[in-house]
Amino acid sequence: MNCKITGKKINPFMSFGKMPIANGFIEKKDFRDEFFFNMEVGFNEDISLFQLNDHPKPEKMFNKDYPFFTGSSEYMKKHFKEYANFVKNYLNSNSKIIEIGSNDGTFLKNFITQTNNVIGFEPSESVANVAKKSNVPTITKFFNKSNVKDLNKYLGQTDLICASNVICHVPNLNDLIETIDLLLSSNGTFVFEEPYLGSMFEKISYDQIYDEHIYMFSASSISKIFKRFDFELVDVFPQITHGGSMRYIVKRKGKINISSNVEKIIETEKKKDLDKINSCLNFKKNCENSKSKILKKLIDLKNLGNSICGYAATSKSTTILNYCNIDTQLIDYICDTTKEKIGKFSPGMHIPIVDMKHFYNNVTDYVYLFAWNHKEEILKKEKDYKGKWISHVEL
């Protein structure tokens, strides 16, 4: 593959094998036509960027039926409220705000009482419609140069562009940054949060890698990428969300002093070789060990006569199930709160997705927590469950 930013040829260092669309929850009648791609990952040392070798077209993933709703976690709603308070530091009373990938409007809802100068870009109709119902102004389109060109009121006049768990979904980062450049005011700020490469390596949470997550960023990669466009990474704030994320603050070059946080984190990343392929090769070994360990655990538990179900049909679970080849011989069902997933089957491995009533009426000896990143919230909710929780990451 060629790196999507620099054009340089990158050789994949690892393959996760054949993968379906992570959020492609499927009906039985469609099993035969299911789409798969070969999921390989590579690393561009020039810009320290971990990336997928190939990925399905964005329209195949983010379509009218996209079934992930940000508001499905109470904790995340709280997080986005706090995030909204944080970004107010970059605003004045007339500021215009744009969110890239605004999903169901969970974040922007925090602004619509204060200002009409707010727009969300969200290409998936299913989630965009929920935002619109909550009166969050939403453009049901991808965020790119061609889709912002007529937004005269916002061109060069937007004080804040935000995104959460979205920038890693955008294949053409060159176009994305040029679009930001078109919109941002001279002293404007781009604030975004993404799953953090360092946390993924530490937790061996390789399930963060799937079709939608084309990149896994670090402060080193973000700093290098934005420099190419005359922007600067001016601050970073580690987050505990989604198993370890990073909030990045980016401004046009020379606008403010760069916080010492940036230098510190880049130094730490260097010490951990996060800017080098070595850390990836180590991660590869860790993934292979993790796969053998979890498979052995599930098989041993089954052989001892235990029943096992899955909790939360996350996008991440698609990687675990397909990479480890886990099907209904090991996991009876996966329960989830999302009505758009219930009654369908998991992508690739075709495990039935059921509602929470089914979970309470068909209690299993073990539960595989696929939403391990929401552990606190879920374990509190399910405190009456008497069996054992398992996962490939430490719970």
Question: Which residues of this chain interact with ligand DWN, rule CB under 6 A?
Answer: 68, 72-73, 165, 212, 242, 312-316, 336-338, 341, 371, 373-374, 377-378, 381
Among all chains, which residue has been given the structure tokens 């995030």? 83
Do 143 and 171 meet the contact criterion of CB atoms below 8 Å apart? Answer: no
Q: How far is the CB of 309 from ligand DWN (least distance, A)?
A: 12
Q: What is the rounded distance in angstroms from the CA atom of residue 342 to the CA atom of residue 322?
A: 19
Do 156 and 183 meet the contact criterion of CB atoms below 8 Å apart? Answer: yes
> Measuring CA to CA, how many Å separate 316 from each of 108, 137, 284?
25, 29, 17
Q: How far is the CB of 256 from ligand DWN (least distance, A)?
A: 29
Nearer to ligand DWN, 84 or 312 (CB): 312
Q: How far is the CB of 382 from ligand DWN (least distance, A)?
A: 8
Q: How far is the CB of 293 from ligand DWN (least distance, A)?
A: 21
> 258: which DSSP letter?
P
Q: What is the rounded distance in angstroms from the CA atom of residue 34 to the CA atom of residue 27?
A: 10
Nearer to ligand DWN, 299 or 363 (CB): 363
Q: How far is the CB of 71 from ligand DWN (least distance, A)?
A: 10
Do 78 and 52 meet the contact criterion of CB atoms below 8 Å apart? Answer: no
Q: How far is the CB of 61 from ligand DWN (least distance, A)?
A: 9
Nearer to ligand DWN, 265 or 371 (CB): 371
Q: What is the largest CA-CA distance in the chain?
A: 66
> 135: which DSSP letter?
T
Nearer to ligand DWN, 346 or 373 (CB): 373
Do 105 and 169 meet the contact criterion of CB atoms below 8 Å apart? Answer: no
What Rg value do the Cα atoms of the chain yield, rounded?
21
**b/e code 13-28 from CB counts within 10 Å (16+ = b):** bbebeebbbbbbbbee
Q: How far is the CB of 6 from ligand DWN (least distance, A)?
A: 24
Instruction: Spell out the alpha helix ranges (H) of the chain.
Output: 58-61, 74-87, 125-133, 145-148, 173-183, 197-203, 219-227, 260-271, 277-303, 315-324, 356-361, 375-381
Do 180 and 160 meet the contact criterion of CB atoms below 8 Å apart? Answer: no
Q: What is the rounded distance in angstroms from the CA atom of residue 192 to the CA atom of residue 84?
A: 12
Nearer to ligand DWN, 280 or 354 (CB): 354
Nearer to ligand DWN, 154 or 206 (CB): 206
Q: How far is the CB of 381 from ligand DWN (least distance, A)?
A: 6
Nearer to ligand DWN, 90 or 192 (CB): 192
Nearer to ligand DWN, 58 or 188 (CB): 58
Nearer to ligand DWN, 48 or 315 (CB): 315
Q: What is the rounded distance in angstroms from the CA atom of residue 321 to the CA atom of residue 315?
A: 11
Tokens of 387: 């069996």
Q: How far is the CB of 87 from ligand DWN (least distance, A)?
A: 18
Tokens of 335: 């329960």
**b/e code 291-308 from CB counts within 10 Å (16+ = b):** beebbebbeebeeeeebb
User: Which amino acid would we find at residue 372?
Assistant: W
Nearer to ligand DWN, 21 or 371 (CB): 371
Q: How far is the CB of 257 from ligand DWN (least distance, A)?
A: 31
Q: Residue number with the shortest CB distance to ligand DWN? A: 314
Q: How far is the CB of 58 from ligand DWN (least distance, A)?
A: 12
Nearer to ligand DWN, 109 or 341 (CB): 341
